[in-house]
Amino acid sequence: MDEHNSIPLAERLRPKTLDDYIGQEQIVGKDGPIRLSIRAGSLPSIIFWGPPGVGKTTLAQILASELKRPIFILSAISSGVKDVREVIERASRKDLLSTQKPLLFIDEIHRFSKSQQDSLLGAVEKGVVTLLGATTENPSFEVIPALLSRCQVYVLESFGVKELEALLQRALKEDEWLKGLKIKLKEKKALFQLSGGDGRKMLNTLELVAQSAAADKMEITDEFVTRVIKQKMVRYDKTGEQHYDIISAFIKSIRGSDPNASLYWLARMIEGGEDPMFIARRLLILSSEDIGLANPTALVMANTCYQSVHAIGYPECRIILSQTTVYLATSPKSNSTYKAIDEAIAKVRETGDLSVPLHIRNAPTKLMQELGYGKDYKYAHSHEGNFVDQEFLPDELSKVKFYEPADNQREKGVRDFLKAKWKNRYGY
């Protein structure tokens, strides 16, 4: 590709006016709310909610251009409270010098923590800025109520075949680099399918495929598109195969007690823009599944990490994720309780609804007492060592063992405890 065309195709084709904007007729059409706002010369604070690649950022930039208003742009992935305050301060100074209220566009606003969103409230309330937020998540859950109540929410929809076709034809007719290749587009179905309704993804795919087709002097067919993508599309995709491969590598590195590999895969996810709450949730699961009773504090650490990440968000939460990752990777490992519950569930599915032994049934009524519910139950605290040997399983499962302590320092103590209490009942 020529040096002057190093800008991605999707960026080269980004529309500059509403008339060039493709899709979202429900809000940008002739009588849509965006058109009406532009005609009126006023704009409310807005949250654009929709999947990736449907024009949320583009629409914000067009609004600034159409209304001739300055725009400040922040990404919630890389911005903190300090960045928000600096931009608001700059917007305040600009507001004093201009009658045009600045726009503040925040991409992926759902990634802002509560404190970061709180830092926006004052500026929005006082009219220092008009907020334009973009989110792929339901704003009802991800945007604080005080901020959400001051914004209009517009839903942007995934591109259908009509919009993707229009975008494709624009690329082929208007992009100088593509026209210069003189490639023949024989089939389009694979391009549309691989896009998943994401216009930016389709253009990125087209650019990649066009390079290969030009080099190999081939026509673009569905088979060729599929083959090229399998060979060359290796970027981190939060919703695609790489998403699952990298989180798998991350979990297996921690399970394998390798903090260095764990940190590498964590860094890959952070740089790829992975949702930090997704990472924190997986650490929470791992702390019980792979560490469990070998170090019960791991679950406490992971839960604290989850809550902290939710409160703080990127970029600072990377430090908390790193600390928890290293702690879990360097903890002793055990999956004994994970195996135990799966074996118990398998036994329940195999044996069905077995009766609860009479002596441990609840007996809230006189009839139940007369029927023997709770009779002969031995209250553990009334016996030496707060323990008495009695049957708690259904008769059909007497002496069946589900939990087998693992070979680690803490569970060796658990095994000794169970052996002392239960003698030979469970074979500890």
Q: How would DSSP label each residue in 117-167? A: HHHHHHHHHHTS-EEEEEESS-HHHHS-HHHHTTSEEEEPPPP-HHHHHHH
Beta bridge partners of 119: none
**C-alpha 235: how far from chain center:** 17
Q: Residue 314, SS3?
A: coil
How confident is the model at residue 95, as a pLDDT?
A: 54
State pLDDT tens for residues 24-55. Answer: 999 998 888 999 988 888 889 999 998 888 99
State pLDDT tens for residues 213-262. Answer: 777 667 888 888 888 877 654 445 555 556 778 888 999 999 999 999 99
User: Omega of the bond prior to 315 within 30 degrees of 0, cis?
Assistant: yes
How confident is the model at residue 53, as a pLDDT?
A: 86
Q: How far is 245 from 233, CA to CA, in rounded Å?
A: 14
Secondary structure letter of residue 217 according to DSSP: T
- Ranges of residues in the chain with a pLDDT under 50 are 1-4, 233-235
| Alpha helices in 31-113, H assignment, sequence order | 33-40, 56-67, 81-97
How confident is the model at residue 1, as a pLDDT?
A: 45
Q: How far is 178 from 196, CA to CA, in rounded Å?
A: 22
Task: State pTM to two decimals.
Answer: 0.54
Q: How far is 203 from 24, CA to CA, in rounded Å?
A: 18
- Cβ atoms of 14 and 65 closer than 8 Å: no
How confident is the model at residue 233, as a pLDDT?
A: 47
The Cα-based distances of 108 to 51, 123, 155, 311 in angstroms read: 11, 19, 14, 16
- Cβ atoms of 347 and 340 closer than 8 Å: no
268-294: burial string, b at 16+ Cβ within 10 Å, e else? bbbeebbbbbebbebbbebbbbbbbbb
CA 261-264-269 angle, to 5 degrees, is: 130
Q: How far is 130 from 126, CA to CA, in rounded Å?
A: 10
Secondary structure letter of residue 291 according to DSSP: I
43-77: burial string, b at 16+ Cβ within 10 Å, e else? bebbbbbbebbbbbbbbbbbbbebbebbbbbbbbb
How confident is the model at residue 251, as a pLDDT?
A: 95
- Cβ atoms of 143 and 110 closer than 8 Å: yes
Cα dihedral 129, 133, 139, 140 in deg (nearest 10): 10
- Cβ atoms of 160 and 197 closer than 8 Å: yes
**Which residue in this structure is represented by tokens 């090229």?**
228
Tell me the HSE value of 140 on the side-chain side, using a 13 A CA sphere. 2
Encoded tokens for 151: 């914004």
Length of the chain: 428
- Domains of the chain are 23-155 (3.40.50.300), 161-232 (1.10.8.60), 241-329 (1.20.272.10), 356-422 (1.10.3710)
